[in-house]
A = this chain, B = another copy of it.
Amino acid sequence: MQKIERIAQLRDFLRPHRERRLGLVPTMGYLHEGHLSLIRQAAKECEQVVVSVFVNPLQFGPGEDLDRYPRDLERDQKLAGEAGADILFTPGVGEMYPNGAKTTVRITGLTDRLCGASRPGHFDGVATVVSKLFHIVEPDRAYFGQKDAQQVAVIQQMVQDLNFPVEVVSCPTVREADGLAMSSRNVYLSPEERKQAAILYKTLREATREREAGRLCRAAEAVQFIRERLEKAEGLLIDYVEVLSYPELEPLDRLDGDRSIAAVAVRLGSTRLIDNVIWPQEEGTRCTSP
């Protein structure tokens, strides 16, 4: 596997192989089983796989964890290679933003809610860096984890609105044995917090069962059901609990119609955790632009 830091070098490397189906897995590194499942899926479907590792300053707000975000490029390279990646693209900030960032890609509506409300500018940063990576790598397909469900919705919207010639593939959330969604940020958790963190998915699963049994019919009831259970967990601070249409992320009354998402964000100590379930349950999606 090749590790490449420079944009021009990556382009030179990829140019002779334009006829091969190319998959991109954009990451911020510190790879875990969630990322590896995306890389494996890309390797299954594509003839060449680029994994990018870039901790994108544009998507971090002031006071967030940009500086302490965990990094281990050597380990990433080994794991990505084993999972089937051909190239690890690891540009520095100066390579990605040599003259700052005068140009931003902004998606309205979708980005006002959930994490967009808690993290203003976050999704502009995501959309902008993903646009750059799409232009640098020119993949046929790009792979994202459904754990960041709002990110998937935002990227799909961007790809459709701007006619990116890229198929966006979202893959199911990968979880620890106790249900905690895999995240690079899980390393921030103390042993005590780590134990508590399982309550997020446990609660979402309970809500899913209640909905399937016909005992949760309205979005507001589902929000209340989840909120009541999370509020009982000691040391856990709720950022949001929302049940919205998916992928539109519009307010919703009844739950028996189209797809919906139950999404939560909490703080455990200094760590922010998010999780979600899609109703009815699904195994990832595919989306291309018109």
Contact = CB atoms under 8 A, between A and B. Distances in A.
Interface of A: 7-8, 11, 18, 95, 98-99, 101-110, 127-128, 131-132, 135-136, 138, 157-158, 160-165, 289-290
A158 B33 CA distance: 36
A6 to B, nearest CB: 9
Contacts of A104: 105-106, 108
Given A136-B163, A162-B131, A162-B132, A290 B103 contact: no
Given A18-B18, A135-B289, A289-B135, A103 B158 contact: yes
A262 to B, nearest CB: 23
Nearest to A166: B135
Q: Which of A128, A157, A163, A164 has the most CB of B within 10 A?
A: A163
A160 B103 CA distance: 9
A252 to B, nearest CB: 19
Q: Which of A8, A99, A103, A289 has the most CB of B within 10 A?
A: A103
A56 to B, nearest CB: 14
Q: Which of A127, A135, A165 has the most CB of B within 10 A?
A: A135
A162 B103 contact: yes
Contact of A99 (B106, B161, B162): B161
A102 B98 contact: no
B110 A162 contact: no
Given A8-B290, A18-B18, A290-B7, A132 B163 contact: yes
A161 B7 contact: no
A98 B104 CA distance: 22
A289 B11 CA distance: 12
A164 B132 CA distance: 7
Contacts of A138: 165
Contacts of A18: 18
3 nearest A-B residue pairs (beta carbon): A103-B161, A135-B163, A132-B163
Contact of A103 (B8, B95, B99, B107): B107
A15 B161 CA distance: 21
20 contacts: A7-B290, A8-B290, A11-B165, A98-B290, A102-B107, A102-B110, A102-B157, A103-B106, A103-B107, A103-B108, A103-B127, A103-B157, A103-B162, A104-B106, A105-B162, A128-B162, A131-B162, A135-B163, A135-B164, A138-B165
A226 B128 CA distance: 40
